């Protein structure tokens, strides 16, 4: 098995790259999805969040009221740390379980938007960063996602700098060209990953 942590700034093209890698045969673990699953209604994770933050972060139907929780942790690093202390271990445990369920010899790609921000690079055999200059990020977020320029700049500013993300990369996918060029680059990256997997020898799970 080869584990890959894939990251990139908002709108850089992570989902597109993950989809292409899945088409080549990668097993995908989506951290955002896992983070939602571990606080779904009825989970111990949601109970722990409600115990820490009170009933005000629950919607009337008992599910997590994300905007209410975001209001509480936004601009309060201590509350955010308390939330992360609950959620991060649960996410790590579930992601590890999904990874161990993958067949031997798989390339398992973890789609982790906040990999650099949360210092998670060491958890993976290979870190792939999808990279675009900020002007392109801004253009895609405003033109293709309908965000205002202010909103797009705000979201980008809340994330790691491009340089900090590139600093943890083993492989960089520059997504400045067409979608066809991106597909060609991902095919190359897939061959590289398969090569790294092969280099580990047949006995390595």
Q: Is 15 annotated as a binding residue?
A: yes
Per CB under 6 A, 16 contacts ligand ATP? yes
What phi and psi, each to the nearest 5 degrees, are found at residue 127?
A: -110, 125
Task: Using the rule CB under 6 A, give the single segment among 4-12, 82-90, 100-108, 163-171 that binds ligand ATP.
Answer: 4-12
In angstroms, the first-to-last Cα distance of the chain is: 5
12 touches ligand ATP by CB under 6 A: yes
Residue 128 in the binding site for ligand ATP (CB under 6 A): no
As given in the structure block, the two tokens for residue 202 are 């047949």
Task: List binders of ligand ATP among 36-95 (CB under 6 A).
Answer: none
**How does DSSP assign 160-201, residue by residue?**
PPHHHHHHT-SEEEE--S-HHHHHHHHHHHHHHHHHHHHHT-
What number of chain residues touch ligand ATP (CB under 6 A)? 16
Q: Which is nearer to ligand ATP, 5 or 113 (CB)?
A: 113
CB neighbours of 82 closer than 8 A, spacing ≥ 6? 52
Among 2, 98, 152, 175, binds ligand ATP (CB under 6 A): 175
Helix or strand holding residue 49 (H, E): helix 44-53
Does 182 bind ligand ATP (CB under 6 A)? Our answer is: yes
Binding-site annotation, residues for ATP: 11-16
């Amino acid at each position: 098995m080869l584990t890959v942590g894939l990251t990139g700034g908002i709108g850089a093209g992570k989902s597109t790259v993950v989809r292409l890698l899945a088409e080549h045969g990668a097993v995908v673990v989506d951290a955002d999805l896992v983070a939602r699953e571990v606080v779904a209604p009825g989970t111990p994770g949601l109970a722990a969040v409600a115990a820490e933050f009170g009933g005000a972060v629950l919607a009337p139907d008992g599910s997590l009221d994300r905007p209410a929780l975001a209001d509480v942790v936004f601009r309060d690093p201590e509350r955010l740390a308390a939330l992360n202390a609950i959620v991060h271990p649960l996410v790590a445990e579930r992601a590890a379980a999904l990874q161990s369920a993958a067949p031997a010899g798989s390339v398992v790609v973890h789609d982790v938007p906040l990999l650099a921000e949360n210092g998670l690079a060491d958890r993976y055999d290979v870190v792939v960063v999808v990279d675009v200059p900020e002007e392109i990020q801004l253009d895609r977020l405003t033109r293709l996602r309908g965000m205002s320029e202010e909103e797009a700049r705000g979201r980008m500013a809340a994330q790691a700098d491009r340089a900090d993300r590139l600093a943890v990369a083993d492989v960089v996918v520059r997504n400045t060209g067409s979608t066809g060029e991106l597909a060609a680059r991902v095919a190359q990256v897939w061959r590289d990953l398969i090569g790294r997997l092969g280099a580990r020898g047949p006995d390595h799970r």
